[in-house]
């Protein structure tokens, strides 16, 4: 396996630098974020192997960041950094799905041990899930979950079937005929597909009447971008 990537989320540059130096000396790679928003963005872009998350962030509540990270990538190991005696935060963090909790101040040796531990446990759980990511959309075919801006959106079975086909053909056009034959068999009316496309758009598009993800190719079919 290549070197694990650690996402460091902390608003203090000094702490980020300290962590970066320590971790890179252990032949780990690091990506960093100073705010909760940035953390969510970087997490989707860089797909880190583990996250070090400081609870005291300026913009978003740390626990909220944790929750969204967790829902975006449910097996991603997340270790919380926080000041001692923040019992409320600790409980909330563990409930929201943190894998471990390290109180400041901490020794680097201890932190590295925790990282190794979480990484070992986290990685053996699940192989790398084939995630489809586009803009604020994240689709995990293995877990049968779809997230829009980090928030899970529920799809009915038919809606999922269609979405899955679109993801597998992402970028290419899926003809009506192909979809119909696959999901409805010989019987089945294209009109049914149209109704479902509308429903899906209303769930995943910001402006369902100006779809950015599911594009209509008139006379042919649909395309996912």
Nearest Cα to Cα of residue 132 among 111, 117, 147: 147
Smaller CB separation from its own copies, 13 or 135: 135
Environment class of residue 133 by beta-carbon count within 10 Å: exposed (0-12), middle (13-18) or buried (19+)?
Answer: middle
| CB-based burial, 15-39: b 16+ in 10 Å, e otherwise | ebeebbeebeeeebbbbbbbbbebb
Smaller CB separation from its own copies, 17 or 84: 84
Does the footprint of its own copies cover residue 58 (CB under 8 A)?
A: no
Give which of its own copies, DNA, none residue 13 binds (C-beta under 5 to 8 Å, depending on kind): none
Does the footprint of its own copies cover residue 186 (CB under 8 A)?
A: no
Does the footprint of its own copies cover residue 199 (CB under 8 A)?
A: no
DSSP 1: -
* Least Cβ distance, residue 135 to its own copies (angstroms): 6
Give which of DNA, its own copies, none residue 134 binds (C-beta under 5 to 8 Å, depending on kind): its own copies
Strand partners of residue 8: 32, 52
Does the footprint of its own copies cover residue 210 (CB under 8 A)?
A: no
Select from 66-74, 100-108, 143-151, 152-160 the region that touches DNA (CB under 7 A): 152-160
Distance CA 198, CA 208 (A): 8
Give the Å distances, CA to CA, from 64 to 60, 77, 138.
Answer: 7, 16, 18
* Least Cβ distance, residue 172 to DNA (angstroms): 16
**Of 15, 20, 61, 74, which lies in the binding site for its own copies, with binding defined by CB under 8 A?**
74
CB contact at 8 A, 80 and 100:
yes
Distance CA 214, CA 191 (A): 16
Contact map string, positions 160 to 199, toward DNA, x by CB under 7 A: ----------------x-------x---xxxxx-xxxxx-
CB contact at 8 A, 57 and 35:
yes
Give the containing element (helix H, strand E) for 83: strand 78-83
Residues in contact with 115: Cβ distance below 8 Å, sequence separation at least 6, in sequence order: 6, 23, 28, 50, 52, 79
* Least Cβ distance, residue 13 to its own copies (angstroms): 25
* Least Cβ distance, residue 87 to its own copies (angstroms): 7
Q: List interacting residues with its own copies (CB under 8 A).
A: 1-2, 45-47, 74-75, 84, 87, 90, 94-95, 100, 105-107, 110, 113-114, 117, 121, 126-127, 133-135, 142-144, 154, 156-157, 171-173, 217-220
Chain contacts with DNA (rule: CB under 7 A): 154, 156-159, 176, 184, 188-192, 194-198, 201, 208-209, 216-221
């Amino acid at each position: 396996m290549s070197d694990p990537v650690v996402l460091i989320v902390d608003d203090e540059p000094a702490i980020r630098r300290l962590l970066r130096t320590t971790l890179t000396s252990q032949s780990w790679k690091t990506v960093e974020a100073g705010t909760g928003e940035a953390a969510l963005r970087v997490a989707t872009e860089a797909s880190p192997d583990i996250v070090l998350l400081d609870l005291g962030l300026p913009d978003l509540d740390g626990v909220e960041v944790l929750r969204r990270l967790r829902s975006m990538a449910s097996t991603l190991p997340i270790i919380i950094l926080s000041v001692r005696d923040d019992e409320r935060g600790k409980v909330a963090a563990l409930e929201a799905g943190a894998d471990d909790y390290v109180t400041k101040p901490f020794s680097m040796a201890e932190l590295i041990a925790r990282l190794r531990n979480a990484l070992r446990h986290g990685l053996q759980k699940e192989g790398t899930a084939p995630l489809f990511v586009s803009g604020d959309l994240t689709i995990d075919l293995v877990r049968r979950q779809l997230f829009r801006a980090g928030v899970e959106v529920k799809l009915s079975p038919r809606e999922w079937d269609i979405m899955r086909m679109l993801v597998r053909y992402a970028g290419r056009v899926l003809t009506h005929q192909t979809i119909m034959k696959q999901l409805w068999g010989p019987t089945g009316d294209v009109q049914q597909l149209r109704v479902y496309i509308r429903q899906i758009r209303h769930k995943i598009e910001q402006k369902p009447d100006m779809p950015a993800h599911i594009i209509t190719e008139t006379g042919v079919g649909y395309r996912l971008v």
